């Protein structure tokens, strides 16, 4: 364990022109030796047993192809490794039959190699194994008897629920360029607008260890190492990365009424109507956040789903379309490009490759000041949240074997339009 380090750098340029201020800022951050946790009990699907010239993945693929070609009820391939793991005899074909039942032919056909390895690692001696002389009693780990090695697939097979450990091997990098334009209130107008162009990358954006590192859920999966043998596989755009961000605030005291640019000689009645108006608000528009499309399968790891394969996909493939009255982020042509990765593969899209819908919200206020007497004033105000009532949609369903893959489930990340009227008397 090493102490975490954050290296920061910044450079700023500021120039003032009368009532305006221009700023250009660069901010860079690089984090190394960051703390994180992971399930160290990930299965090794590339495991081998001495004396058998075959890895588990190779044996799995042979059985998978046999099922694909000959169907679930016909067995023509009996890998020696599988026979050995399940019976202690590489020539006992009952081992392959038992494996196909335990791992289920459908799961094997889908390519869940890691799930099958976990089942094999955690399989306990049954009564039939005692009868056949493989085990001396029920309940013990089967492969500890058949190959005399309980650690073929997992470092700690006794912890069937996983074993979460901490280390300091995480890292991150952020680069941001910010442009700011400010105007101090002059002639009734004041504002501040900022645009940020940035990129944030890391190998995990949050640490789910305080809940469950090995959960397989979409949220936790982006922060769970795909493969403990290659932690760099998770290095990608941060969960919170937003490439473009524009935001601003403004206030404008409208130049109408007595003593103002327009209507400066107005009567008291006219001044009550056209004078004392103020317009203000905030606006924000930013790129969508990255998200990962998952295969729904455990082709490489038992603790996190593999990402999907996608033929000819670009990061910006998503677009909002309406199909059968439902909002989709991937249209039918885009959805057809996705497929499940091969056993032993993590998928060619990787973590956080795709970009979710843009976020936009404009809030505005209109206020009117009525001066009744020298000491009494009445203020009327209208506040509108999300003036345009434009929804900013949340991430779509991002598991390709889901029946609603690509659909946005009516979930939004901003507020619906809300208008509020208020009044205040000051004296």
90-109: per-residue pLDDT in tens? 999 999 999 999 999 999 99
User: What's the CA gap between 401 and 394, in Å, rounded?
Assistant: 20
At 335-387, the pLDDT tens digits run 999 999 999 999 999 999 999 999 999 999 999 888 777 788 888 899 999 99
For residues 184-199, average pLDDT: 94
For residues 164-183, average pLDDT: 93
All residues at 6 or more sequence positions from 251 whose CB lies less than 8 Å from its CB, including other chains: 185, 189, 190, 191, 278, 279, 280
pLDDT greater at residue 287 or residue 207: 287
User: What's the CA gap between 268 and 275, in Å, rounded?
Assistant: 10
CB 394 within 8 A of CB 356: yes
CA 265 remoteness from chain centre: 60
Checking if the pLDDT of 265 tops 60, the result is yes
What DSSP character marks residue 415? P
- Least confident range from 165-179, 266-280, 346-360, 390-404: namely 266-280
Predicted local distance difference test score (pLDDT) of residue 62? 98
At 51-73, the pLDDT tens digits run 999 999 999 999 999 999 999 99
Find which of 107-111, 260-264, 387-391 is predicted with most confidence, using mean pLDDT: 107-111
Strand partners, 12: 25
Q: At what angle do helices 94-103 and 56-70 cross, to 10 degrees?
A: 80
State what percent of residues in the chain have pLDDT above 90: 73
For residue 98, what are the CA distances in angstroms to 68, 83, 128, 297, 322? 18, 9, 11, 22, 47
What stretches of 256-385 adopt beta strand conformation (E)? 277-286, 290-291, 309-310, 321-323, 326-328, 338-339, 354-355, 359-371, 377-385
Q: At what angle do helices 113-122 and 94-103 cross, to 10 degrees?
A: 110
Checking if the pLDDT of 213 tops 50, the result is no
- Which residue do the tokens 């074909």 mark? 93
Count Cα atoms within 13 angstroms, Cβ side, for 325: 0
Q: 413 phi and psi, to 5 degrees? A: -105, 0
At 148-165, the pLDDT tens digits run 999 999 999 998 878 888
Residue 10 region by backbone torsions, left for phi larger than 0, else alpha for psi between -120 and 50, else beta? beta
Q: Which two tokens stand for residue 26?
A: 């660069």
- Least confident range from 109-118, 143-152, 381-390, 418-427: namely 418-427
CB 270 within 8 A of CB 324: no
Predicted local distance difference test score (pLDDT) of residue 216? 40
- Least confident range from 204-208, 254-258, 325-329, 393-397: namely 204-208
Residues in the chain: 427
- Record the pTM: 0.86
User: What's the CA gap between 400 and 264, in Å, rounded?
Assistant: 66
């Amino acid at each position: 364990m090493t102490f975490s380090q954050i290296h920061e750098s910044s450079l700023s340029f500021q120039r003032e022109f009368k009532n305006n201020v221009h700023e250009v800022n660069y901010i860079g951050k690089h984090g190394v030796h960051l703390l994180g946790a992971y399930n160290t009990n990930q299965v090794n699907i590339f495991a081998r047993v001495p004396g058998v010239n075959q890895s588990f993945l190779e044996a799995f693929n042979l059985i998978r192809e046999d099922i694909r070609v000959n169907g679930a009820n016909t067995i023509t391939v009996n890998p020696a490794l599988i026979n050995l793991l399940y019976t202690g005899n590489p020539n006992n074909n009952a081992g392959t039959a038992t494996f196909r039942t335990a791992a289920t032919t459908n799961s094997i056909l889908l390519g869940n190699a890691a799930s099958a390895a976990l089942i094999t690692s955690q399989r306990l001696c049954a009564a039939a194994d005692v009868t056949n002389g493989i085990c001396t009693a029920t309940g013990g780990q089967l492969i500890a008897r058949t190959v005399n090695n309980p650690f073929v697939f997992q470092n700690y097979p006794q912890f069937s629920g996983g074993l979460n450990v901490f280390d300091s091997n995480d890292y991150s990098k952020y680069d941001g360029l910010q442009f700011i334009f400010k105007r101090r209130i002059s002639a009734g107008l004041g504002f501040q607008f900022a645009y940020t162009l940035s990129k944030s990358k890391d190998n995990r954006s949050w640490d789910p260890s305080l809940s469950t590192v090995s959960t397989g859920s979409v949220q936790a999966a982006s922060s769970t190492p795909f493969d403990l043998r290659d932690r760099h596989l998770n290095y990608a755009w941060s969960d919170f990365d937003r490439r473009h961000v524009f935001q601003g605030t403004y206030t404008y005291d409208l130049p109408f009424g007595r003593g103002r640019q327009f209507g400066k000689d107005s009567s008291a009645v006219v001044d009550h109507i056209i004078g004392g108006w103020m317009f203000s608000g905030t606006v924000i528009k930013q790129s969508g956040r990255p998200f990962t499309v998952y295969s729904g399968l455990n082709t490489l790891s038992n603790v996190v789903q593999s990402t999907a394969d996608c033929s000819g996909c670009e990061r910006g493939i998503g677009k909002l379309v309406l199909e059968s009255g439902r909002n989709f982020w991937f249209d039918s042509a885009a959805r057809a490009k996705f497929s499940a990765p091969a056993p032993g593969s993590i998928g060619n899209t990787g973590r956080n490759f795709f970009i979710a819908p843009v976020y936009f919200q404009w809030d505005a206020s209109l206020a009117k000041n009525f001066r009744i007497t020298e000491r009494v004033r009445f203020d009327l105000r209208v506040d509108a949240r999300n003036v345009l009532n434009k929804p900013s949609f949340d991430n779509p369903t991002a598991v390709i074997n889901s029946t609603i893959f690509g659909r946005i489930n009516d979930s939004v990340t901003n507020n619906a339009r809300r208008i509020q009227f208020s009044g205040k008397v000051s004296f």
